[in-house]
Structure 1
Amino acid sequence: MANLGWVFTTQTTAALIGETDDPATADWNITTDEATCTYPELAQLTTLAGPAWAFRYFGDENGCRIGVVGWRATTETIDALWIFDPAGCRATRLLVGRTDDPDEIAWEYTGDLLSCLEELTQVGGQ
Protein backbone atom coordinates (compact mmCIF):
# COMPACT_ATOMS: atom_id res chain seq x y z
CA MET A 1 0.00 0.00 0.00
CA ALA A 2 1.21 3.48 -0.83
CA ASN A 3 2.17 6.05 1.78
CA LEU A 4 -1.05 7.60 3.09
CA GLY A 5 0.74 10.45 4.87
CA TRP A 6 -0.50 13.12 2.44
CA VAL A 7 -0.16 16.73 3.43
CA PHE A 8 -3.15 18.68 2.16
CA THR A 9 -2.07 22.09 0.97
CA THR A 10 -3.41 24.77 -1.31
CA GLN A 11 -1.45 23.11 -4.11
CA THR A 12 -2.98 19.66 -3.56
CA THR A 13 -6.45 21.20 -3.36
CA ALA A 14 -5.88 23.07 -6.63
CA ALA A 15 -4.67 19.85 -8.25
CA LEU A 16 -7.62 18.00 -6.77
CA ILE A 17 -10.19 20.20 -8.41
CA GLY A 18 -8.28 20.42 -11.67
CA GLU A 19 -6.77 23.89 -11.34
CA THR A 20 -3.41 22.88 -12.70
CA ASP A 21 -1.59 23.90 -15.84
CA ASP A 22 0.63 20.80 -15.89
CA PRO A 23 0.29 19.39 -19.43
CA ALA A 24 1.52 16.00 -18.21
CA THR A 25 -1.70 15.50 -16.22
CA ALA A 26 -4.13 17.28 -18.53
CA ASP A 27 -5.77 13.99 -19.58
CA TRP A 28 -6.03 12.53 -16.08
CA ASN A 29 -9.71 13.40 -15.59
CA ILE A 30 -11.97 10.35 -15.77
CA THR A 31 -15.71 9.95 -15.82
CA THR A 32 -17.77 8.61 -12.95
CA ASP A 33 -18.49 5.54 -15.09
CA GLU A 34 -14.76 4.92 -15.58
CA ALA A 35 -14.11 5.32 -11.85
CA THR A 36 -16.93 2.96 -10.87
CA CYS A 37 -15.76 0.45 -13.49
CA THR A 38 -12.36 0.36 -11.77
CA TYR A 39 -13.83 0.53 -8.23
CA PRO A 40 -17.51 -0.64 -8.29
CA GLU A 41 -17.83 0.32 -4.63
CA LEU A 42 -17.85 3.99 -5.69
CA ALA A 43 -21.44 3.62 -6.87
CA GLN A 44 -22.34 4.19 -3.18
CA LEU A 45 -21.35 7.84 -3.57
CA THR A 46 -24.46 8.52 -5.62
CA THR A 47 -26.55 7.99 -2.47
CA LEU A 48 -24.91 10.90 -0.64
CA ALA A 49 -26.70 14.23 -0.51
CA GLY A 50 -24.94 17.22 -2.00
CA PRO A 51 -23.02 17.93 -5.18
CA ALA A 52 -21.99 15.25 -7.66
CA TRP A 53 -18.58 13.63 -7.48
CA ALA A 54 -15.78 14.12 -10.02
CA PHE A 55 -12.74 11.88 -10.49
CA ARG A 56 -9.20 12.00 -11.81
CA TYR A 57 -6.00 10.03 -11.53
CA PHE A 58 -3.23 11.29 -9.28
CA GLY A 59 0.45 10.55 -9.47
CA ASP A 60 3.71 10.41 -7.62
CA GLU A 61 6.60 12.86 -7.84
CA ASN A 62 7.75 11.16 -11.07
CA GLY A 63 4.42 11.71 -12.80
CA CYS A 64 3.38 8.05 -12.63
CA ARG A 65 -0.30 7.39 -11.96
CA ILE A 66 -0.70 5.78 -8.56
CA GLY A 67 -4.39 6.10 -7.79
CA VAL A 68 -7.75 7.73 -8.29
CA VAL A 69 -9.07 10.73 -6.37
CA GLY A 70 -12.72 11.62 -6.18
CA TRP A 71 -14.04 14.92 -4.84
CA ARG A 72 -17.06 17.12 -4.51
CA ALA A 73 -16.94 20.75 -3.52
CA THR A 74 -19.18 23.45 -2.15
CA THR A 75 -18.29 27.00 -1.22
CA GLU A 76 -17.50 25.78 2.32
CA THR A 77 -16.10 22.24 2.02
CA ILE A 78 -14.32 19.77 -0.22
CA ASP A 79 -14.88 16.06 0.36
CA ALA A 80 -12.11 13.92 -1.12
CA LEU A 81 -11.52 10.20 -1.46
CA TRP A 82 -7.91 9.26 -2.31
CA ILE A 83 -7.82 5.64 -3.54
CA PHE A 84 -4.45 3.96 -3.87
CA ASP A 85 -5.93 0.46 -4.17
CA PRO A 86 -8.87 -1.39 -2.55
CA ALA A 87 -6.81 -1.84 0.63
CA GLY A 88 -5.49 1.73 0.81
CA CYS A 89 -7.77 4.74 0.90
CA ARG A 90 -8.07 8.10 2.65
CA ALA A 91 -11.28 10.10 2.97
CA THR A 92 -11.23 13.76 4.05
CA ARG A 93 -13.43 16.79 4.43
CA LEU A 94 -11.58 20.08 4.02
CA LEU A 95 -12.96 23.40 5.25
CA VAL A 96 -12.53 26.10 2.63
CA GLY A 97 -11.77 29.67 3.61
CA ARG A 98 -12.90 29.49 7.25
CA THR A 99 -9.51 29.91 8.91
CA ASP A 100 -5.99 31.13 8.15
CA ASP A 101 -5.21 27.57 7.01
CA PRO A 102 -6.56 27.36 3.43
CA ASP A 103 -7.13 23.62 3.72
CA GLU A 104 -8.13 22.87 7.29
CA ILE A 105 -9.06 19.21 7.64
CA ALA A 106 -12.40 18.95 9.46
CA TRP A 107 -12.62 15.17 9.24
CA GLU A 108 -10.49 12.31 7.91
CA TYR A 109 -10.41 8.54 7.87
CA THR A 110 -7.81 6.09 6.55
CA GLY A 111 -8.52 2.44 5.81
CA ASP A 112 -9.63 0.18 3.01
CA LEU A 113 -11.98 1.50 0.33
CA LEU A 114 -15.13 -0.05 1.79
CA SER A 115 -14.53 1.30 5.28
CA CYS A 116 -13.71 4.76 3.89
CA LEU A 117 -16.97 4.76 1.95
CA GLU A 118 -18.90 3.66 5.05
CA GLU A 119 -17.34 6.42 7.15
CA LEU A 120 -17.91 9.02 4.43
CA THR A 121 -21.55 7.96 4.19
CA GLN A 122 -21.91 8.43 7.95
CA VAL A 123 -20.46 11.95 7.72
CA GLY A 124 -23.22 12.54 5.19
CA GLY A 125 -24.15 15.47 3.05
CA GLN A 126 -22.65 18.87 3.26
Structure 2
Amino acid sequence: MADPGQWQQIVMNLCINAADAMERRGTVQVGLERATLESDDNSTEGFCLTVTDSGHGIPAEVQKRMFMPFFTTKAPNEGSGLGLSVIYGIVNSLGGEIEVSSHTEGPERGTQFRIKVPSANAETNRQ
Protein backbone atom coordinates (compact mmCIF):
# COMPACT_ATOMS: atom_id res chain seq x y z
CA MET A 1 0.00 0.00 0.00
CA ALA A 2 3.01 2.30 0.34
CA ASP A 3 4.56 3.94 -2.67
CA PRO A 4 8.26 3.36 -3.43
CA GLY A 5 9.18 6.84 -2.19
CA GLN A 6 7.77 6.05 1.26
CA TRP A 7 9.79 2.83 1.48
CA GLN A 8 12.87 4.74 0.34
CA GLN A 9 12.33 7.28 3.15
CA ILE A 10 11.96 4.53 5.76
CA VAL A 11 15.03 2.53 4.69
CA MET A 12 17.19 5.60 4.07
CA ASN A 13 16.43 7.23 7.44
CA LEU A 14 16.93 4.02 9.42
CA CYS A 15 20.21 3.20 7.66
CA ILE A 16 21.59 6.74 8.04
CA ASN A 17 20.79 6.67 11.77
CA ALA A 18 22.39 3.22 12.06
CA ALA A 19 25.56 4.37 10.31
CA ASP A 20 25.76 7.44 12.56
CA ALA A 21 25.34 5.26 15.66
CA MET A 22 28.24 3.04 14.67
CA GLU A 23 30.72 5.88 14.28
CA ARG A 24 32.39 4.50 11.13
CA ARG A 25 32.64 0.88 12.27
CA GLY A 26 30.06 -1.86 12.59
CA THR A 27 27.35 -3.76 10.80
CA VAL A 28 23.93 -2.86 9.45
CA GLN A 29 21.59 -5.67 8.48
CA VAL A 30 18.41 -5.09 6.48
CA GLY A 31 15.79 -7.79 6.06
CA LEU A 32 12.25 -8.26 4.80
CA GLU A 33 9.93 -11.11 5.69
CA ARG A 34 6.27 -11.98 5.89
CA ALA A 35 4.67 -11.11 9.21
CA THR A 36 1.37 -11.06 11.04
CA LEU A 37 0.12 -7.88 12.68
CA GLU A 38 -1.85 -8.62 15.83
CA SER A 39 -4.45 -6.39 17.46
CA ASP A 40 -6.95 -6.99 20.24
CA ASP A 41 -9.48 -8.81 18.10
CA ASN A 42 -7.85 -9.69 14.79
CA SER A 43 -4.69 -10.47 12.88
CA THR A 44 -3.62 -9.17 9.48
CA GLU A 45 -1.05 -10.57 7.07
CA GLY A 46 1.73 -8.23 6.06
CA PHE A 47 5.45 -7.69 5.94
CA CYS A 48 8.19 -6.79 8.39
CA LEU A 49 11.19 -4.67 7.44
CA THR A 50 14.01 -5.13 9.94
CA VAL A 51 17.03 -2.83 10.27
CA THR A 52 19.60 -3.91 12.86
CA ASP A 53 22.85 -2.14 13.72
CA SER A 54 25.80 -2.78 16.01
CA GLY A 55 25.94 0.84 17.16
CA HIS A 56 25.95 2.32 20.64
CA GLY A 57 22.25 1.66 21.29
CA ILE A 58 19.48 4.06 22.24
CA PRO A 59 19.03 4.89 25.95
CA ALA A 60 15.52 4.41 27.37
CA GLU A 61 15.02 8.14 27.97
CA VAL A 62 15.75 8.85 24.28
CA GLN A 63 13.44 6.04 23.11
CA LYS A 64 10.54 7.80 24.83
CA ARG A 65 11.01 10.90 22.64
CA MET A 66 12.70 9.68 19.46
CA PHE A 67 9.60 9.78 17.24
CA MET A 68 8.75 13.38 18.20
CA PRO A 69 9.27 15.94 15.40
CA PHE A 70 12.51 17.92 15.71
CA PHE A 71 13.86 15.74 18.55
CA THR A 72 17.50 14.89 17.88
CA THR A 73 20.55 13.80 19.82
CA LYS A 74 22.87 15.07 17.08
CA ALA A 75 24.91 18.23 17.32
CA PRO A 76 23.51 21.47 15.85
CA ASN A 77 23.52 21.49 12.03
CA GLU A 78 24.00 17.69 11.90
CA GLY A 79 20.38 16.59 11.85
CA SER A 80 16.87 18.00 11.75
CA GLY A 81 15.20 15.51 14.07
CA LEU A 82 12.66 14.67 11.39
CA GLY A 83 13.83 11.24 10.20
CA LEU A 84 12.14 9.04 12.79
CA SER A 85 9.04 11.23 12.97
CA VAL A 86 8.64 10.89 9.19
CA ILE A 87 8.98 7.11 9.50
CA TYR A 88 6.42 7.08 12.30
CA GLY A 89 3.97 9.10 10.19
CA ILE A 90 4.35 6.84 7.15
CA VAL A 91 4.01 3.61 9.12
CA ASN A 92 1.01 4.96 11.05
CA SER A 93 -0.73 6.06 7.83
CA LEU A 94 -0.30 2.53 6.46
CA GLY A 95 -1.89 0.95 9.53
CA GLY A 96 1.44 -0.49 10.61
CA GLU A 97 3.51 -0.59 13.76
CA ILE A 98 7.09 0.01 14.84
CA GLU A 99 8.95 -2.10 17.38
CA VAL A 100 12.30 -0.96 18.75
CA SER A 101 14.75 -3.09 20.68
CA SER A 102 17.98 -1.50 21.86
CA HIS A 103 20.86 -2.36 24.16
CA THR A 104 23.46 0.20 25.24
CA GLU A 105 25.84 -2.25 26.93
CA GLY A 106 27.19 -5.77 26.60
CA PRO A 107 27.58 -8.14 23.67
CA GLU A 108 24.05 -7.45 22.39
CA ARG A 109 24.80 -3.72 22.06
CA GLY A 110 22.96 -2.08 19.17
CA THR A 111 19.47 -1.35 17.94
CA GLN A 112 16.83 -3.15 15.93
CA PHE A 113 13.83 -1.49 14.28
CA ARG A 114 11.00 -3.74 13.11
CA ILE A 115 8.53 -2.01 10.80
CA LYS A 116 5.39 -4.10 10.31
CA VAL A 117 2.81 -3.10 7.71
CA PRO A 118 -0.20 -4.91 6.27
CA SER A 119 0.06 -6.09 2.67
CA ALA A 120 -2.12 -4.41 0.06
CA ASN A 121 -4.25 -7.52 -0.33
CA ALA A 122 -4.23 -8.49 3.35
CA GLU A 123 -7.29 -10.09 4.80
CA THR A 124 -8.15 -9.47 8.42
CA ASN A 125 -8.82 -12.63 10.39
CA ARG A 126 -11.14 -12.32 13.38
CA GLN A 127 -10.13 -14.50 16.30
TM-score computed with the length of structure 1 as normaliser: 0.29
TM-score computed with the length of structure 2 as normaliser: 0.29
Larger radius of gyration: 2
